[in-house]
Amino acid sequence: MLAGALVLYGFTCAPTVLWQDSGLFVYRIWQNDMQGNLGIALAHPLYILIGMSVKLIPVGELAWRINMISAVFGAVAVANLFLLLRLWLERLWPALIGAITLAVSWTFWQNAVLAEVYTLYAAQLFTELIILLLYFKSKKTGYLYLLGLLNGLSIANHLWGVFPLLCYLIFILFKVLRKDISVKTLTVFIVLWIVGALPYEYLVIRNLFITGDFASTVRSALFGIMWQEHVLNTSVTVKIVAENIIFLVLNFPTPNIILLAIGIFVLWKKAPAKSFANILAAMCLLFFVFAFRYTVADRHAFFLPFYCICAIFFGIGADVVFRKFQSKTVVIVMLAFSLLPVPAYAVASEAARKCYKSLAQRRQRPYRDEYKYWLRPWKTGYYGAERFATEALQGVEENAIIYAYTTDVHAMIYTQQIKGVRPDVRIVSVYNSSPWSPDFNEETIAGLLAESAVYVTADRPGYCPKFILDNYELEKAGHLWRVVNKYEESETNGVN
């Protein structure tokens, strides 16, 4: 299972730098930047430490190596899911159905072929569940100690780990109150959790010493610099509900979806202990509720832990069906159904092009067909972001300034500083910029325009600085827009 998933993700992995957060992770790893500038909650220090180690491997392009981190951990996650179901159900085919279901699901596959933290978390989550299962099978306290350490490491990668931690602590506290587990066990669990979470805790303590502001450090540690409202959101619109349903369908476009319902229904009957079923169900609910009412632009990715738990239920449901219908034909049909998402993604882009016009109304990027880029999870041979960055950099004057929106900036910096394209150009952004870039704001823009050409990568509110849209004209110039004074624009057009 590990080898098969690794071949799938390795073959479909992005060969170079991509847009958005993926480009940001490549940039941070290249810069050995443990925290970034989005707040502690978005630092993901364990992932960055792994990336810094992979950076030292002299094989292939840097961005490809970083993308392959997700491919490797994606394969580990799929293998861990297979092992979890195999140990639990003691049967091969249900474990295979669950593992394949996750492996080819839209969100998981999509995040297994680009630089992101999510498949690492999935591999960690399944490892925790394997350890928890072994505890319920053996009742050996050592497994709880290991569980604490592993969950701490999960927190060091992504705060999703808080939800399983809550479930583990409630379970252990309940067992302590019943005197089934000693206080010592709880204490050791907590100590080992602290050890595992050290990379995250280091950033919290470091920020507290630097700023001296306890409240702002806590906000940064829990929400980042600007996402508190999204994290704590409690309102759900009809649009959000409809999109969430679409996300679910995209991940499991197969008749095997009935296995999910069966798996949930028989969970408590199949579990090695009622508490194990309770923990799994509680995790599933917490992951689902968090993602369902989350409002960030890429919130579809935040359903990934929920889909991981769903894949477990698919395996349980398959075990029920295979025991009832002991036929090779049933196994073959179920396996075929589990692979149906692959051709479904191949045709989904054209179907959405006809039925979901709003996707095309979003900001378009050169060499990125929004329908294919988002609805086909594979990124084999995709060089769109690097091609855009190369052509944009090569198309401007010497020492020009380019204000790049966050979607584009890290692909541009990567192309400039790793590939050596136009090192004279000064790239500026609200996140990261070229080291030699000037201050770029309402007070400095007039002076910058007087000394050099200035460009922006987008001409829309929210993507281009407001002070530019309010006070200057934008002229299309290749992939960019050149900033010009309104007075100069009028003279060019012959208007006095």
Which pLDDT does position 359 carry in this prediction? 62
Amino acid identity at 133: L
Residue 352: inside a domain: no
pLDDT tens figures, 129-171 = 999 999 999 999 999 999 999 999 999 999 999 999 999 999 9
Please indicate, yes or no, whether residues 138 and 202 belong to a single structural domain of this protein. yes
**In the predicted structure, residue 61 carries a pLDDT above the cut 90:** yes
Are both 319 and 204 inside the same structural domain? yes
Are 153 and 208 in the same domain?
yes
Are both 314 and 406 inside the same structural domain? no
pLDDT exceeding 70 applies to what percent of the chain?
97
Residue 363's pLDDT is 63
Residue 53 has pLDDT above 50, yes or no: yes
25-47: average pLDDT = 93
Token pair recorded at residue 462: 């929210």
Residue 125 pLDDT? 98
| Across 106-120, 342-356, 375-389, least confident range | 342-356
Neighbours of 109 (CB within 10 A): 25
d(CA 154, CA 46): 8
Assigned domain for 377 exists: no
Q: Is residue 372 part of a domain?
A: no
Distance of alpha carbon 330 from alpha carbon 334, whole angstroms: 6
- Per-residue pLDDT, 232: 82
* 45 and 165 both lie in a single domain: yes
Residues 115 and 184 in one domain: yes
Does residue 363 belong to any structural domain of this protein? Answer: no
Q: Are residues 266 and 327 in the same domain?
A: yes
321-347 average pLDDT score: 94
Whether residue 58 is contained in a domain is answered as: yes
The number of distinct structural domains making up the chain is 2
Q: Do residues 101 and 212 share a domain?
A: yes
Distances (CA, A) of 82 to 79, 199, 251, 338, 493: 5, 29, 18, 14, 67
| 118 and 228 housed in the same domain | yes
| 417 and 305 in a common domain | no
Integer Cα distance of 153 and 200 in angstroms: 9
* pLDDT tens profile 252-297: 999 999 999 999 999 999 999 999 999 999 999 999 999 999 888 7
Q: At CA 459, angle to CA 456 and CA 461, rounded to 5?
A: 115
Please state, for a pLDDT cut of 90, what percent of the chain lies above it: 81
Average pLDDT, the chain: 92
Q: Do 125 and 224 fall into the same domain?
A: yes
Q: Determine, yes or no, domain membership for 366.
A: no
**What range defines the domain where residue 312 resides?**
2-342
Q: Which of 282, 314, 342 is the last residue of a domain?
A: 342
Q: Which of these three, 326, 342, 358, is where a domain ends?
A: 342
Q: Quote the pTM value.
A: 0.94
Q: Would 370 be classed as within a structural domain?
A: no
Out of 342, 372, 407, pick the residue that ends a domain. 342
Q: Based on the domain organization, do 333 and 395 belong to the same domain?
A: no
pLDDT digits (tens, 9 = 90+) for 381-440: 999 999 999 999 999 999 999 999 988 999 999 999 999 999 999 999 988 888 888 999
The pLDDT, as a whole number, for residue 354 is 81
Sheet with 454-456: strands ordered across: 426-428, 401-403, 454-456, 480-485, 472-477
Bridge partners (DSSP) of residue 475 are 482
Residue 243 has pLDDT above 70, yes or no: yes
Residue 170, in any domain of the structure: yes
